[in-house]
């Protein structure tokens, strides 16, 4: 059986939280045994908004440590930081010339992030999706584990790949990548507002569970998390009308083997004190060991450097092959090659 090629990445823009883990990193570890996997620290994406250089370096190490602490094996998967494989930026420029302005104008995430200040945000934020397309297509990835908020960008990647294939009369050159979205958990929301995504940028630290939070902090944050005045309802349809409760149930499902309906049946008619206590225990069992391992790995920068360097070399070896093929299709001249296609 031919293995799928899987690629995804996480931005080094602040403390990693439960949404990063359940929405992405947890899936990475599960996929590596049956697929060819590349997981990058997308530091080029991070600088679409200004990053303090010292913090960017530290966060790059921290994402790498989180990959390792969550079970991603550098002998099974390629772990690297995006900026050290120049093919990402090179292919991004070519794809910028393929992508249409109208396609980018339809990207809802740009509108959400720029808000009323779209004239003053960086052009990099606007063209972010074409860099994401380059990340994926540079390795001819067939599957991309993405959150529901990134699905539109993956659809754009498919459009760009199709147009490139058509323009250069190579119908099968770039595969059209498919999304891998966890069925039970599509998006983890804020602990304080069930309709807002859990985010590193939220001013309230009580809005999220950070992967490095200690046990007492996890208990305190879950205890203070917003639920509802009414007790646990009896059906998923009624839970869907209570976004904060629905979010906590999604988190519970993500860190245990229980289904949402099993949890609803267990806590039906009860207030949320027992539910929150059990959720805290489940989170501590799942998340605390990961946080401890991240802290341990962050003390060994030489090992993290080794992982990123070896991963970058492997990624570069793969990407160079594809980029050379792209250059040939586009018609770029290689002066050192005497016999070139006309």
Residue 223 appears among annotated catalytic residues: no
Contact 128, 110 (CB under 8 A): yes
Which residue among 76, 151, 200, 286 is the active-site one? 200
What is the Rg, in whole angstroms, of the alpha carbon atoms belonging to the chain? 22
Scanning 206-242, the segments in alpha helix (DSSP H) are: 215-224, 236-239
SS3 336: coil
CA 91, CA 320: separation in Å to the nearest integer? 11
Which residue among 4, 113, 286, 314 is the active-site one? 113
Q: Could you tell me which of 8, 6, 10 has the C-alpha nearest to residue 31?
A: 6
Contact 65, 21 (CB under 8 A): no
- Which is it for strands 35-41 and 4-10: parallel, antiparallel or unpaired? parallel
Which two structure tokens, joined as six digits, stand for 257? 């083997």
Residue 314 appears among annotated catalytic residues: no
Sequence-ordered strand ranges (E) for 3-95: 4-10, 35-41, 77-81
Residue 169 appears among annotated catalytic residues: no
Q: What angle do CA 215, 217, 221 make, to 5 degrees?
A: 120
Which two structure tokens, joined as six digits, stand for 52? 């303090």
Burial class (CB in 10 A: 0-12, 13-18, 19+), 125: middle
SS3 74: coil
Sign of the alpha-carbon torsion through 84, 87, 92, 93: positive
Catalytic residue ranges: 113, 197, 200
């Amino acid at each position: 059986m031919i293995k799928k090629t899987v690629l995804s990445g996480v931005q080094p823009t602040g403390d990693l939280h439960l949404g990063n883990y359940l929405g992405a990193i947890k899936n990475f570890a599960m996929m590596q045994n049956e697929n060819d996997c590349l997981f990058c620290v997308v530091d080029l994406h991070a600088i679409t908004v200004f990053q303090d250089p010292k913090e960017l370096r530290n966060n790059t190490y921290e994402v790498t440590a989180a990959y390792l602490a969550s079970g991603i094996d550098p002998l099974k998967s390629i772990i690297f930081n995006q900026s050290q494989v120049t093919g990402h930026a090179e292919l991004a420029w070519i794809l910028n010339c393929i992508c249409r302005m109208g396609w980018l104008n339809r990207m809802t995430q740009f509108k959400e992030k720029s808000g009323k200040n779209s004239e003053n945000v960086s052009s990099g934020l606007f063209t972010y999706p074409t860099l994401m397309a380059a990340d994926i297509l540079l390795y001819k990835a067939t599957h991309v584990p993405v959150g529901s908020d990134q699905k539109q960008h993956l659809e754009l990647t498919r459009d760009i790949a199709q147009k490139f294939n058509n323009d250069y009369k190579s119908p099968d050159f770039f595969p059209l990548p498919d999304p891998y979205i966890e069925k039970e958990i599509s998006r983890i929301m804020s602990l304080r507002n069930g309709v807002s995504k859990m985010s590193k940028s939220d001013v309230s630290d009580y809005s999220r569970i950070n992967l490095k939070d200690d046990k007492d902090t996890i208990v305190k944050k879950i205890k203070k998390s917003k639920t509802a005045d009414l007790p646990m309802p009896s059906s998923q349809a009624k839970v869907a009308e209570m976004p904060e409760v629905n979010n906590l149930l999604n988190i519970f499902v993500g860190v245990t083997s229980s289904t949402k309906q099993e949890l609803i049946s267990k806590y039906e008619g009860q207030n949320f004190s027992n539910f929150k206590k059990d959720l805290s225990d489940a989170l501590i069992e799942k998340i605390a060991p990961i946080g401890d391992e991240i802290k341990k790995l962050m003390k060994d920068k030489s090992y993290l450097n080794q992982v990123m360097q070896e991963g970058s070399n492997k990624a570069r070896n793969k990407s160079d092959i594809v980029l050379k093929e792209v250059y040939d299709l586009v018609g770029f001249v290689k002066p050192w090659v005497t016999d070139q296609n006309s």
